[in-house]
Chain A
């Protein structure tokens, strides 16, 4: 057993907010508040939470698409945060990203071959023209794309086909690690299963590791090996996928599970109290979930619970979890 493929320690990302030029205050939006994750090779590590919880920020920080304000990021044991672009280049080959909206993530003026050849030319300049062509053809075959697509433009394809192309682009440099940010939420229901199966097959064939970012817990239950639940830039619960669905420990995880519409019906019969994400600029002093939590007591409003390991191996950041 080697170490984790990706690890973050105390990762923080803050965004400065626009201020009045005379104002002395410098308000900061805390997008990530000290996040530790250790992603093991070959697993599908899922991050779930509502919009604004920091799940996309986590993925982008790991990919080096934004600079963390504090903390450390390691890839295969090597520290990669704050690295300059030249040193990072060989690492970029090994970690790639699939975005949510295949209508926005593909350049509309570039044909499929150009889209797929670009990462090889940029990140593997040693490859010859014929090697590039071969690699593009191989990845098209592996992702279920027809070789005849190469000369066509993105607008000629449906959403599902575009997402296949986007996945092919992420895989063309043979990476070991993929960040997939809501890769199926823009797709139609009958297409979602096709893309999820493709990701599962590719993982089996290539031994890929995924960081899978989603808001959809039913996908996580099927697809994930471990699940991290985030709220307001912090980790609330981290557990094996099976465990988290059978015995959720954090009240926020239970709220999320309870909100999934069930085919059996009947769970929307009782009215629910409105709950909103607190202001990320002035987060509450104690537990960030306390204002919405049915179990919250005085202690929760003053003291922030730390992530701790429970008897069943789950980690939860709640004073009352056991």
Chain B
């Protein structure tokens, strides 16, 4: 049985009733909500299911005894606002204490919460766009070529994917950015498109970067090298969010084969940020996310302190 031969399709049923037309696009509206799902087997997705998921389960497994479940609630270290207290009743309900987000333990290991990749996001910020919006056109064209996505994706985007989006400034920062101004563009990829992008990155882009030893990780924190006192809370929000991010310099854009074929068609080369969004949360989430991402042959190096 030849592998590549597609299934033959019969003739579609005749359309007996005229389809209602979309007033805006002037096109017939299909009677069902069409969504394109996976349309080919995916090599890296298979690699995840046959090899990586097992290894990640073994590497990240933390043993919880059945007698310890459900875990004990944390000790309340500060007073909570109590409406039954007549002193507090008509006073302002101020939040008391922090949420301790940096100390939330990871969920107990189960087959359902093995670290997995949910999405990959590419984000390009262009400072030129602040002076003239038309400078964003090069960014949008580059992202379209890199990801194969457009704003509406031919009307058939996968669930949770929005195509190439414009990023607006959130805050007013003097001399740098203003709120509501278009400052860049981003694209979120899921499913096989996300795995295709990772394959292109590791096979075409990273091997051709000059002086690239790996994605730098922060230096290991130890009592000898850290300038912070041992009691200080050195945990950052990114450490517990399970997102791995890194940047590529502007010259690296020419190494993507999608851009390389007609590099002259773009006004200039842009640097970009790539975010790998995983389902890991809690203490040590970033380590677990890095273990997953390195399974797709993306190297990491520890900065020497």
Answer whether A and B are interacting partners: no
